[in-house]
A and B are shown apart, each in its own frame.
Chain A
Amino acid sequence: MSKLSQKHLLGIKDITPEDIELIFETADNFKEVINRPIKKVPSLRDVTIANVFFENSTRTRLSFELAQKRLSADVINFSASNSSVKKGETLLDTVNNILAMKVDMIVMRHASPGAPHYLAKHISANIVNAGDGTHEHPTQALLDAFSIREKLGDLAGKKIAIIGDILHSRVALSNIFALKKLGAKVMVCGPPTLLPKFIAQLGVEVELDVKKALQWCDVANVLRIQLERQQIKYFPSLREYSLYYGISKRMLDSLKKQIIIMHPGPINRGVELTSDAADSPHSIILDQVENGVAVRMAVLYLLAGAK
């Protein structure tokens, strides 16, 4: 018997280490399922899930949709760009209209931090946060931690460096929460303008030199420079960023140690990661994508299963 402590997955901040362990154990089983000749189980056949995306996404949305289909759920997709949101409908009205069509779960991405938390106060369906602005992206953090666990075993005591645009990254925040809860040591590294002012209060180390960060860590989670969130200039040019913070295969080889490179995608090749580094044996980027489906299946299964 097993149950998550929460009815929704709004953020890693709200869930317990036991919840994370339960999700991982369930994801192990789903990973075996999606590698079978018949990759489908009937668990969620009486569940309808709406994927409500107010912000663009390819990977996360495909991954969620595939996870839902592998669990035999009925799926409806909604994206804000071609909907009545354009006509001025409020978030709550939009979601209530979807729920009136007898939908059991909502997977939502929204540009405003806290949007799923607001929704959770007003509706009864289960909500999974698929990214809310610069706040949290819980399933990404879970699949990142799951991928590290798969390569290195127990996360306790492992050193993980998160490198790049920490300021705008929901992946960074969720990763920090998840890794700390699992007992890992976390370091953030990036140019000072892209590091939040009080980040050290989360119990992470701060490093400005990427070479020292790579020297220190077992795993480097390299984040994307969010070109769409750079209205203000945080660094002089992309070329300068890649010169000081870009990671290349030569750099990794010069470390003379085992290191794992992760990236939540989409990669800006040649900016934060050169092509030869992204495609090197150090990289587990495609494992992350595969694990994403298994982890999301586990989250949906556990949330749907609790009465």
Chain B
Amino acid sequence: MQKKLILDTDLLDITIRRLCQQLIENHNDFADTVIIGMQPRGIFLAEIIHKKLEQDTGKTILLGYLDATFYRDDFRRRETPVKANETRVPFIIEGKKVVLVDDVLFTGRSIRAAMDAMIAFGRPATVELLVLIDRKYNRELPIAADYIGKVVNTLTSQRVLVELEAQGHKQNKIWLINKD
């Protein structure tokens, strides 16, 4: 198994800072904006970004977690069902500007499911997508991210591994893994 480092701790830190600046440019004081992290892995990034944005703007920003398991299009098509996680959206997203946060954008199918899941909480004014890693050439649906940490050219057989301190790892690092 070959591992290649895509983003180390420092670069990742700079990247997240840049993403936050881009968000602030577009959303000013976040009065009508909510941040929603995608379960299971996008929530850690969402928490980091949320904390940083609150520090930088001095405002309280709404944060939710969304689990799209029950909206997936591969139910009954895989050997074992995907395990569901907690959804916690303690606010109405009707008319709000939603920033959906996930760690890796791959086929785009989980984002499609997430958009379906989100509608159960109201009709948002706009939806934007923020991802840390955009895996180019692997999209199966017409979905693109609005805020991208880093674009990586990958093969379908490869895997992107995101290690964050919040998930219990020693350092923030992102790897590209070759499966042999």
Chain A residues proximal to chain B, CB less than 8 Å: 1-3, 22, 25-26, 28-29, 32-33, 36-38, 40-44, 46-47, 71, 301-302, 304-307
Contacts and interface: CB of A to CB of B under 8 A. Distances in A.
B2 interface: no
A71 B81 CA distance: 15
Interface string B63-83: 000010111100110111111
Contacts of B70: 29, 33, 41-43, 71, 301
A38 B122 CA distance: 9
Nearest to B122: A37
Contacts of A22: 83
B86 A29 contact: yes
Give the one of A29, A38, A307 with max B CB within 10 A.
A29
Interface string B118-151: 0111100000000000000000000000000000
Given A37-B120, A42-B70, A43-B70, A26 B76 contact: no
Nearest to A305: B81
A302 B81 contact: yes
B87 interface: yes
Contact of A2 (B75, B83, B116, B121): B83
Given A1-B81, A29-B84, A36-B121, 17 more contacts: A1-B80, A1-B82, A2-B81, A2-B83, A3-B80, A29-B67, A29-B87, A32-B86, A38-B119, A41-B70, A41-B117, A42-B70, A43-B71, A43-B72, A47-B76, A305-B75, A305-B76
B57 interface: no
Nearest to B82: A1
Nearest to A32: B87
Contacts of A33: 70, 87, 120
B156 interface: no
A305 B69 CA distance: 11
A3 B79 CA distance: 9
Given A42-B71, A305-B75, A37 B121 contact: yes
A42 B113 CA distance: 10
Interface in B65-117: 67, 69-72, 75-76, 78-88, 116-117
